Structures are given as C-alpha cells and as structure tokens.
Amino acid sequence: MATHTGLLTVQVRDLVRRYDERAVLDGLDLDIEPGEFVALLGKSGSGKSTLLRALAGLDYDVDGSGELVVPANVSVVFQDSRLLPWARVLDNVVLGLGGAEERGRRSLDEVGLAGREKAWPNELSGGEQQRVALARSLVREPQLLLADEPFGALDALTRLKMHALLRKLCAAHQPAVLLVTHDVDEAIVLADRVIVLDAGRIVAEETITLTGSRSAADPEFAAVRSRLLDALGVSV
Ligand SMILES: Nc1ncnc2c1ncn2[C@@H]1O[C@H](COP(=O)(O)OP(=O)(O)OP(=O)(O)O)[C@@H](O)[C@H]1O
C-alpha cells in the first residue's frame, strides 16, 4: 500500500522478503529524503531487484513482512526500455495520460529526442529507447524514480551521455531516486548517497561529498571507490 509522509519520500522498516523460506531481504531499513539520489550496489543475488520491486509494489504475492512507506506517484525504469512496439514514441511517453501530448513533446525535447515523436520504437537505438523510457517516467513528475540498471545494456560512451542526461533531468524534476547498479563508478558519479546490500541488509553507506564533475582521477573519488569495493568484497 502506498502512503505519503511529507517528511521522507521512502521509509522502510524491518523489511523481510522470502523466497522458498529463504530471506532475501532480512530486516532491512532504508530512508530516502525528497529529491535525494541513492544508488544501491550489491553482489549478484543480494536482493537489489527484490527491494526495488517491493518499493514499486510489484511483489504483492511474495512472502514477507515489514513497514514500507512510499509515495503515491512512483515511476520505474528497467534495463530494457519496455516500450510498446506498436505505439509511436510520443504515444509511448503519454500512455495513459489523456491529453498530455504537449507535456510529452516537452519531455522528449528534454531527453534530446525532439522531432522523433512519430518514430516507432524499433527505429531508435538502445540509448534512444532508454531516453524515451526516461521521458515516459518523468512526464509523470514522480516523487520517486526507481531505476533497475537502466544503463546496463548500453555501450560505455552512451552510458556516459546517459549519466549526464540523468543528472540534468534529476536537477530539473527533483524526484527522489533509487538506482540499482553494478557499476561502482556510476554510483559515485550520480548519487548523493551510495548504499551496499549484502545478505538482505544494508552493510555500508557512503555520502558523496564530491562536487563538480566528479572525476575518477580525484583522490577522494578513489578513496570512496575503494571503500565501496571493500564492502562488496572485491579486493583490488
Ligand atoms: N521469483 C523468485 N522466486 C524465487 N527466488 C527468487 C525470485 N526472485 C528472486 N529470487 C532470488 O532472490 C535472490 C535475490 O534476487 P534479486 O533479483 O533481488 O538479486 P539482485 O541483487 O537484483 O541480483 P542481480 O544483481 O543478479 O540482478 C536471488 O537468490 C534470486 O534467485
């Protein structure tokens, strides 16, 4: 059930989610403030997508318990764009929002796709399709944006462009964000706070105080990366 608190955008207390009696989330606590960008790292199978699905309300049939407060207006972006292949780009963006064509056009302009309104999804590159998915999410002005490895399938150069775009969009729309990623550098570049999930709980947290373009060459960047890799059990 979705509830809006006004104080915190997300409030998770003692969240448990089980598959076949195995606790994948094991008493997890998490707060996200309005407009805060949180990146979630964790080994494969640590429960990142399970947490995201719980926040998105997409796991109503899963066994578990705990307190979960999320806003009413949540958008989700996945690794694949999940556009409807039989609907043109603009129609995908405004799907279900009667009479929102002008807003949809503005959203497409914001993601750099002005002029592509009438294109079919399969006429776009993977990166362009993810831009449409972002436009579709943000045109709804969500209080919370959940993103599950949204750039995971893109090449390195396109990823960098998408990082810049996402930062710009978040500055303009100011949703709270929970971004699941495997990429430690992506987490540091984008987030206000990076958390690490292990064995169903948050085991490490870094508040990112780097300013400007957040260069990996910055010694502070390297120090944060090293602590996060440590928490992930990766020795370098
Ligand atoms: N529907 C399901 N039925 C049974 N087990 C599941 C189901 N969904 C997830 N799991 C299990 O829960 C655990 C956590 O899965 P989850 O997808 O949340 O991990 P993840 O951290 O997102 O992994 P990855 O980084 O590989 O995407 C895994 O062991 C997975 O096999």
Structural element, H or E, at residue 14: strand 10-19
Q: Find the 44 Cα to ligand 1 centroid distance in Å.
A: 8
Establish whether residue 96 lines the binding site of ligand 1, counting it when its CB lies within 6 angstroms of any ligand atom. no
Nearest to 228 by CA among 198, 209, 205: 205
Structural element, H or E, at residue 225: helix 219-231
The length of the chain, given as a count of residues:
236
Domain 80-141, CATH: 1.20.1580.10
Identify which of 15, 17, 18, 19 to mutate to test ligand 1's pocket (most ligand atoms within 8 A of the CB).
19
Establish whether residue 81 lines the binding site of ligand 1, counting it when its CB lies within 6 angstroms of any ligand atom. no
Query: What are the φ and ψ backbone dihedral angles of 232, each rounded to 5 degrees?
Result: -85, 0
Nearest residue (by CA) to ligand 1, atom 5, is 19
**What is the band of 1 on the pLDDT scale with cuts at 50, 70, 90?**
very low
Establish whether residue 46 lines the binding site of ligand 1, counting it when its CB lies within 6 angstroms of any ligand atom. yes
Whole-model pTM: value is 0.93
Q: Which atom of ligand 1 is nearest to the CA of 149?
A: 27
pLDDT digits (tens, 9 = 90+) for 52-72: 999 999 887 889 999 999 999
Place of tokens 């998105």: 56
Of 21-25, 88-92, 201-205, 211-215, minimum mean pLDDT range:
211-215
Domain ranges of the chain: 1-73+143-236, 80-141
Mean pLDDT of 117-125: 97
pLDDT at 157 over 60: yes
Nearest residue (by CA) to ligand 1, atom 24, is 44
**Which CATH superfamily, name and number, covers 1-73+143-236?**
P-loop containing nucleotide triphosphate hydrolases (3.40.50.300)
Q: Find the 186 Cα to ligand 1 centroid distance in Å.
A: 22
Query: What are the φ and ψ backbone dihedral angles of 230, each rounded to 5 degrees?
Result: -55, -50
